[in-house]
């Protein structure tokens, strides 16, 4: 699969994430936002950390090889398991994936179907 398709599936087909994959994604963004939060102890920050930072070893294991690899493996799994259910927005002319599900212009051949 090419990178644009992986990104599209990962970003717009999240209803097919497993519970563990969703925890891993939340954990990744939680560590970016709250992982090393400086300052005083705030109950609100502690609550957010509990919500986003995973303790599930299976979720953490998905991130062991880095976030780009997590995106690749998750999108590949979703594609293989749900390829007939995915509503992919592809260009009518070159058949490549669009940037978003609602896009009406191809980013590759610039075909426009407005």
The predicted pLDDT at position 50 comes to 78
The set of residues, in sequence order, having a beta carbon less than 8 Å from that of 15 and lying 6+ positions away, is: none
The structure tokens listed for 73 are: 């493996």
> Which tens digit of pLDDT belongs to each residue from 40-66?
567 777 777 777 888 899 999 999 999
The predicted pLDDT at position 54 comes to 85
Positive or negative CA dihedral for 93, 95, 98, 103?
Answer: positive
**Chunked mean pLDDT (size 10), the chain, 114 residues:** 95 97 93 68 73 89 97 98 96 96 97 94
What global pTM score does this model have? 0.86
The structure tokens listed for 90 are: 């592809």
The predicted pLDDT at position 86 comes to 96
Check if the beta carbon of residue 95 is closer than 8 Å to that of residue 77.
no
Phi, psi (5° rounding) for residue 22? -65, -40
């Amino acid at each position: 699969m090419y990178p644009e398709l992986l990104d599209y599936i990962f970003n717009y087909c999240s209803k097919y994430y497993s519970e563990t994959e969703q925890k891993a994604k939340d954990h990744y963004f939680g560590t970016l936002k709250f992982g090393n939060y400086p300052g005083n102890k705030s109950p609100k920050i502690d609550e957010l950390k509990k919500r986003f930072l995973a303790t599930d070893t299976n979720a953490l294991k998905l991130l062991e090889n880095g976030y780009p690899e997590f995106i690749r493996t998750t999108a590949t799994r979703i594609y293989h398991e749900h390829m007939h259910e995915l509503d992919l927005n592809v260009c009518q002319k070159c058949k490549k994936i669009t940037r978003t599900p609602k896009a009406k212009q191809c980013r590759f051949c610039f075909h426009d179907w407005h």
